[in-house]
């Protein structure tokens, strides 16, 4: 996994960032995902209890940048099929998703993936929409699944989240250009068999990056009432494309 780590170190993540997530998962089994394929190839690190507790106090402030660091499920080297699920950009949904801070950069996971746990205490557990939509892809030993965004940063310019969202929309064209090379290199490392875009915005952003429309499968965004449709569309992908390419029925009943 060293190529992934080297790529994501460009985001200025803390040393052993992924090891920290694995440690949090081990120390807090009711809060963090217990899917064994999550961040496969990384190991937990030794960390003091007070350092783990400090994660709870990470709050975003005006002037901060929230960075969603891509994460994965499955063993890259052993996978026979690689899937990349792409969102448009991070959002500062809840401080509960924050994992680490370095200066004014706050790091978390796309789609709240490290908190895909039905016992999570995050209010309303919005991250589980993504888990339920992708659940049938997550644990198959032949599938490697990468979760990422076209744009990796989200600026906190106000204490009002709706103001921050509007600012993000205004900056969207500029930020697509800024992150174009990073995403292109990311996809070159993975060489995904399928690229799934969550929602119209991500789909259009991928085309603006330069990906051909034929390389992208647009899936309904799981939020805003789209979970059921997203799940159905992903099940069709599993049946008609992944299963077909692997020349087997990879899930019972599909």
pLDDT in tens, 77-94: 989 999 999 999 999 989
- 251 domain-assigned: no
- Residue 69's pLDDT is what? 97
- Residue 242's pLDDT is what? 83
Instruction: Tell me the C-alpha distance between 41 and 85, whole Å.
Output: 19
- 154 domain-assigned: yes
- 253 domain-assigned: no
Mind listing the pLDDT tens digit for each residue in 90-102?
999 899 999 999 9
Q: How many domains does the chain have?
A: 1
- 74 domain-assigned: yes
Give the pLDDT band (50/70/90) at residue 75.
very high
Give the pLDDT band (50/70/90) at residue 53.
confident
- 50 domain-assigned: yes
- Residue 254's pLDDT is what? 42
Question: What is the extent of the structural domain holding 42?
Answer: 2-246
- 254 domain-assigned: no
Give the pLDDT band (50/70/90) at residue 194.
very high
CB-CB neighbours of 57 under 10 Å: 9
Which tokens hold the place of 14? Answer: 């803390």
Give the pLDDT band (50/70/90) at residue 250.
low
For residue 4, is pLDDT > 90? Answer: no
- 101 domain-assigned: yes
- 252 domain-assigned: no
Pick the range with the lowest mean pLDDT from 59-68, 110-119, 132-141, 156-165: 132-141
Q: What is the CATH number of the domain that holds 150?
A: 3.40.470
Per DSSP bridges, beta strands 194-198 and 216-219 are: parallel
% of the chain beyond a pLDDT of 90 = 78
- Residue 232's pLDDT is what? 96
- Residue 43's pLDDT is what? 83
> Residue written as tokens 């969550």?
198
Instruction: Tell me the C-alpha distance between 144 and 71, whole Å.
Output: 11
Q: Could you tell me if 154 and 106 are in contact, meaning their C-beta atoms sit under 8 angstroms apart?
A: no
């Amino acid at each position: 996994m060293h190529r992934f780590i080297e790529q994501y170190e460009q985001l200025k993540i803390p040393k052993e960032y992924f090891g920290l997530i694995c440690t949090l998962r081990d120390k807090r089994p009711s809060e963090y995902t217990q899917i064994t394929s999550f961040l496969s190839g990384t190991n937990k690190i030794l960390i003091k209890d007070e350092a783990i507790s400090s994660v709870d106090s990470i709050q975003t402030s005006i002037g901060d940048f929230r960075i969603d660091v891509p994460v994965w499920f499955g063993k890259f080297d052993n996978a026979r099929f690689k899937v990349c699920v792409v969102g448009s950009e991070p959002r500062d949904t809840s401080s509960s998703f924050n994992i680490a801070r370095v200066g004014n950069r706050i790091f978390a996971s796309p789609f709240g993936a490290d908190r895909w746990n039905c016992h999570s205490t995050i209010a309303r557990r919005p991250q589980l929409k993504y888990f339920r939509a992708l659940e049938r892809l997550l644990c198959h030993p032949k599938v490697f699944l990468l979760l990422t965004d076209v744009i990796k940063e989200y600026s906190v310019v106000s204490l009002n989240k709706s103001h921050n969202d509007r600012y993000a929309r205004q900056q969207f064209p500029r930020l697509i250009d800024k992150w174009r090379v990073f995403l292109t290199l990311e996809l070159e490392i993975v060489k995904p068999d399928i690229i799934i875009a969550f929602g119209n915005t991500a789909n259009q952003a991928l085309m603006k990056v330069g990906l051909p429309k034929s390389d992208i499968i647009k899936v309904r965004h799981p939020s805003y009432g789209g979970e059921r449709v997203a799940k159905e569309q992903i099940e069709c992908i599993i049946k008609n494309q992944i299963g077909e390419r692997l020349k087997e029925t990879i899930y019972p009943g599909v």
